[in-house]
Structure 1
Amino acid sequence: MPLPFVANRLHFRNVILFLFLSGLKISDIHKKMTAVYQDESPSFNTIKLWFERFEANDYELDDKPHSGRPPELDLEVLEGIVEADPYQTSREMAATLGVSQPTIIRGLKSIGKVKKLGRYVPHVLNQRDMDRRIEMSMFLLTFHRTHAWLDNIITGDEKWIHYSNNVRKAQWVDKDEHALDVAKPELHVKKVMLCIWWSVHGVEYWELLDEGKTITADVYTFQLDKFKKAVAKKRGDKAKVYFQHDNARPHVAKVTHAKLLSFGWTILPHPPYSPDLAPSDYWLFSRLQRHLNGKEFDKKADIKKELESFFNNLELEFYAEGIKKLPERWQKTIDADGQYF
Structure 2
Amino acid sequence: MSNFVPKKEHLQEVLIHYFILKKSAAESYHILREAYGEHAPSQDTCERWLKRFKSDAFDVKGKEHPGQPKKFEDQQLQALLDEDACETQKQLAERLNVAQQTISDRLQAMGKILKEGKWVPHQLNERQMENGKVISKMLL
TM-score (norm 2): 0.44
Report 1 or 2 for greater relative contact order, CA contacts < 8 Å, sequence distance ≥ 6. 1
Q: Which has the larger radius of gyration?
A: 1
TM-score (norm 1): 0.19
Q: Larger % of helix: which?
A: 2
